[in-house]
Amino acid sequence: MSESLDPDDWTAFRALAHRALDETFDALQAIRAGAPWREVPPGVKAALDADPLPRTAADPSAVYATFRELIAPYAVDNRHPRFFGWVHGAGTPLGVVAELLAAGMNANLGGREHAAVYVERVVLEWWREVFGLPPGTTGIITTGSSMANLIAVLVARRRAAGAAVRTAGLAGAGALVGYTSSEAHSSMGRAFDVAGLGSEALRALAIDARRRLDVGALRTAIVADRDAGRRPFFVAATAGSAATGAVDDLRAVADVAAAEGLWFHVDGAFGALARLSSADRELVDGIERADSLAFDFHKWLHVPYDAGAVLVRDGALHAATFADEAPYLLRAERGAAAGRPWFTDFGPELSRGFRALKVWFAMKAFGLDALGASIERCCALARGLGARIAREPELELLAPVSLNIVCFRYAFATDVDELNVRLAIELQVRGLAVPSAARIDGKLGLHVNVMNHRTTAADLDATIDAALAIGAEIKRAGRSQT
Residues 167-186 binding its own copies (CB under 8 A) are 167-171, 175, 185-186
Q: Is 330 in the site for its own copies (CB under 8 A)?
A: yes
Candidate residues 147, 221, 290, 432; the one interacting with its own copies per rule CB under 8 A? 147
Is position 34 an interface residue for its own copies (rule: CB under 8 A)?
A: no
Q: How many Cβ atoms from other residues are within 10 Å of residue 227's Cβ?
A: 8
Q: Who's near 313: CB < 8 A, 6+ residues apart? A: 133, 134, 136, 137, 290, 291, 292
Applying CB under 8 A, which of residues 12, 15, 65, 103 lies at the interface with its own copies?
A: 103
Instruction: Name which position in 12, 65, 93, 223 contacts its own copies (CB under 8 A).
Output: 93
Within 267-306, which residues bind its own copies (CB under 8 A)? 296, 298, 302, 304-306
Q: How far apart are CA 330 and CA 272, in angstroms?
A: 37
How far apart, in Å, are the Cα atoms of 132 and each of 71, 145, 290?
43, 19, 10
**390 membership: H or E segment, kind and range:** helix 368-391
- Is there binding between residue 337 and its own copies (CB under 8 A)? yes
Helix, strand, coil percentages in the chain from 3-state DSSP, rounded to 5: 50, 15, 40
Q: Is 100 in the site for its own copies (CB under 8 A)?
A: yes
Interface segment toward its own copies; rule CB under 8 A; list 309-317, 352-360, 384-392, 457-465:
352-360
User: Based on CB atoms, which residue is closest to its own copies, 163 or 259?
Assistant: 163
Instruction: Single out the segment in contact with its own copies by CB under 8 A; choices: 10-18, 220-228, 280-288, 459-467.
Output: 10-18
3-state secondary structure 36-60: CECCCCHHHHHHHHCCCCCCCCCCH
Q: Which one of 363, 385, 401, 419 is in contact with its own copies (CB under 8 A)?
A: 363
- The radius of gyration of the chain from alpha carbons, rounded to an integer in Å, stands at 24
Residues 47-86 that bind its own copies (CB under 8 A): 48-49, 51, 53-60, 63-64, 66-67, 70-76, 78-79, 85-86
Number of C-beta neighbours around residue 314 at 10 A: 18
Name the residue nearer to its own copies (CB basis): 259 or 338. Answer: 338
Pick one of 368, 380, 416, 466: the residue that binds its own copies (CB under 8 A).
368
H or E element, residue 382:
helix 368-391
Identify residues 418-457 at the interface with its own copies (CB under 8 A).
421, 424-425, 428-429, 434, 436-440, 444, 447, 453-454, 456
Q: Is residue 117 packed enough to be buried (19+ CB in 10 Å), middle (13-18) or exposed (0-12)?
A: buried
Contact 272, 292 (CB under 8 A): no
Residue among 201, 256, 266, 287 that touches its own copies (CB under 8 A): 201
411 binds its own copies (CB under 8 A): no
Taking the C-alpha atoms of 217, 221, 223 and 224 in order, what is their torsion angle to the nearest 10 degrees?
A: 130
Residue 232 near its own copies by CB under 8 A = no
Judged by CB under 8 A, does residue 196 bind its own copies?
yes
Q: In whole angstroms, how close is the CB of 391 to its own copies at the nearest point?
A: 25
CB 137 within 8 A of CB 128: yes
